[in-house]
Structure 1
Amino acid sequence: MSYNHLFKIVVVGDHNCGKSCILLRFAENSFRIDHISTLGVDFKLKTIKLGRDKVRLELWDTAGMERYRTIYNSYYHSAHVFMCVYDMTNEKSFENLESYWLKEIKQHAPQNAVLMLVGNKADLEAERKVDFDRAEKLATRLGVSLYEVSAKTGINCEEAFHTLATAMRERVCAANLYSDDSEDAEEYASAFHVDGVIGNDKKSSRLSSCCNSPPEPAFV
């Protein structure tokens, strides 16, 4: 199948946050309550349409267990996009975003990678331990996207991945605007680190139309 863009998305976060289930919901629109824990790294493919473009997404699922963490660095280096997942019913998984996962991404990821925070298990509102406002404050401080999703019901799963793919496509188009000036292109690519969409309201998006004007840079 032909496509216009190919993007590598790496999904990280603590063990049992539901990363594999989020990918299964997005890639195959299904959910398994008896899903087996990922060992090491798993991989899926999904092609989506963004306007007239076909975008091929490589979806890399990391296990989250400590004994596998040393193998992730090689996957970080070539990633275009990171989805950093926490469990809304598990406060420790949210705390570990800052204490571990975001540090690892900042240390090993390309400077122009797109980043999104995702709170899973939005269907378990009665068991919520991480308030949306608290997560939104972290996302706002970092200048990154935040989505609350449910792999079980499918709430916001497709929207989150489409937002990431759109952000990466905008970055590619914006870089092409500077193709006549390699110095400007390098400066722009290194500065524009995140897509800047906060929360689930798409009206808050600062993404521009592809290949018109570049999106406003944001910094981590």
Structure 2
Amino acid sequence: MEVSNLYDLLGIARTASQEEVKKGYRKSCLVHHPDKGGDPEMFKDISKAFETLSDPRKRALYDQQLDRTNSSDGANPQPRSDKRQATKKQKTQPGPPQSESGPSEIPQNPENLSVKELKSLLSSLGIRHDDCVEKAELLQRLRERKNKAKRKTATNPSSISQLAIKILSIGDPECGKSCIIKRYCEGRFVNRYISTIGVDYGVKKLTIQNVKVAINFFDLSGQQDYEEIRRDFYRDSQGVLLVFELNDKNTFNNLTRWEREARSNGLNLQEVDVVVCGNKVDLNGREVTAQEANKWSSSRGYKYFDVSANNGQGISEALDSLFASVVSRNLRNRESLLSSLI
């Protein structure tokens, strides 16, 4: 086992209790998870640290490794800062206002502005006006800018070239949430069940409606032990994968509990795009019919799919549908915003 300063990653001492390990993990997640601008690699390291230190057997082996190497890991605990992210933030601090601005800065009645004010406004918008003599010419330049923005919105409202969206997967433990994502992203199935530790994160890049989209997956553990950690990942999600197991009706009945948990943590599923997946359709002993699942989902405005992470049935259709809906909603919102500002 390679020594990776796991205690320092979580900002805890080697003598930390299991409860302190959980608290350290949660705090580190909130600081470093990519949804809040943290570094994805750091986030993965933190998840690995928690996976080891929350397992008594793995932790004992790791402690033995520290003793053999006289490591100081955990000797002087303090929250580890993300130097990469700090550097990034420093580089991206907002500078002076840019000369180019959006149409929102054009007032409703520019005719009421003085010549000096009009020239200042044109300069702030990056519009050339040194060849204008009369006030009417300055106003004409403003009208040209507004008309150009209107034409662009009307003819190509989805002209945005890149988009990042946040997708959550939620549902009871062992329903196959992680396997569905792995099947979609990697085209493979993991036979051995591996419980998600807290929150798993991954990125899939696609082109949807001529837009380059970065799909940020946040795969939330369904284990009760991680409820406190899950709380901070609901907000600002744009799409949700709600998963249950077709041969276990309890997991279907528990979908309403997941709706409540999302709502209590700032995410109303009726206000975002949701796809419900009934997983393990390839297995015998089905307890939830497609009609029943469809009825429940459609009554809430969700889409429903029978899927199998094992053989891939319905996976691409379900996730592609979710991503397309999220992207379309983003583009509509953007078009609406631009139209209201012009």
Q: TM-score range by the shorter chain?
A: 0.7 to 0.9
Q: Secondary structure at the match of 2:299?
A: helix
CA displacement at 1:35 relative to structure 2: 3.5
Q: Residues of 1 paired with 2:308 and 2:287: CA distance?
A: 15
Among candidates 78, 98, 118, match of residue 277 of structure 2: 118
Is 2:168 the counterpart of 1:10? yes
Q: Secondary structure at the match of 2:173?
A: coil
CA displacement at 1:46 relative to structure 2: 0.7
Structure with greater helix percent: 2
Q: Residues of 2 paired with 1:110 and 1:47: CA distance?
A: 24
Q: Residues of 1 paired with 2:289 and 2:331: CA distance?
A: 35
Q: Secondary structure at the match of 1:142?
A: coil
Moved over 3 A (4+): 109-112
Amino acid paired to 2:264: Q
Contact 1:80 1:110 in 2 (8 A): no
**Alignment CA distance shift 1:154-1:41 (3 Å):** same
Contact 1:38 1:63 in 2 (8 A): yes
Instruction: List aligned pairs for 1:130-145, cutoff 5 A.
Output: 130-145=288-303
- RMSD value, Cα: 1.5
Among candidates 91, 96, 101, match of residue 258 of structure 2: 101
CA displacement at 1:63 relative to structure 2: 1.2
Q: Residues of 2 paired with 1:57 and 1:50: CA distance?
A: 11
CA displacement at 1:97 relative to structure 2: 0.4
TM-score (normalised: structure 2):
0.50
TM-score (normalised: structure 1):
0.76
Q: Residues of 1 paired with 2:272 and 2:209: CA distance?
A: 22
Q: Deviations over 1:51-108 (max 9, x none)?
A: 422211011111101111121121001211111100001110000001x101122333
CA displacement at 1:44 relative to structure 2: 1.3
Amino acid paired to 1:113: V
Aligned length: 178
Q: Match of 1:195? A: none
Amino acid paired to 2:242: C
Q: Residues of 1 paired with 2:318 and 2:228: CA distance?
A: 27
Q: Match of 1:55? A: 213
Contact 2:208 2:327 in 1 (8 A): no
Instruction: List aligned pairs for 1:169-180, cutoff 5 A.
Output: 169-179=327-337, 180=339
Q: Residues of 2 paired with 1:178 and 1:110: CA distance?
A: 22
Among candidates 121, 124, 127, match of residue 285 of structure 2: 127
Contact 1:84 1:97 in 2 (8 A): yes
**Alignment CA distance shift 1:109-1:82 (3 Å):** farther
Instruction: List aligned pairs for 1:68-107, cutoff 5 A.
Output: 68-98=226-256, 100-107=257-264
Is 2:200 the counterpart of 1:42? yes
Contact 1:40 1:68 in 2 (8 A): yes
Amino acid paired to 2:249: E
Is 2:340 the counterpart of 1:181? yes
Contact 1:79 1:109 in 2 (8 A): no
Instruction: List aligned pairs for 1:202-217, cutoff 5 A.
Output: none
Contact 1:9 1:59 in 2 (8 A): yes
Q: Residues of 2 paired with 1:143 and 1:121: CA distance?
A: 23
Q: Residues of 1 paired with 2:294 and 2:223: CA distance?
A: 26
Contact 2:174 2:193 in 1 (8 A): no
Q: Which segment is superposed worse, 45-54 or 11-20?
A: 45-54
Q: Deviations over 1:163-199 (max 9, x none)?
A: 11111111111112222327xxxxxxxxxxxxxxxxx
Q: Which has the larger radius of gyration?
A: 2
Amino acid paired to 1:43: Y
Q: Residues of 2 paired with 1:116 and 1:13: CA distance?
A: 12
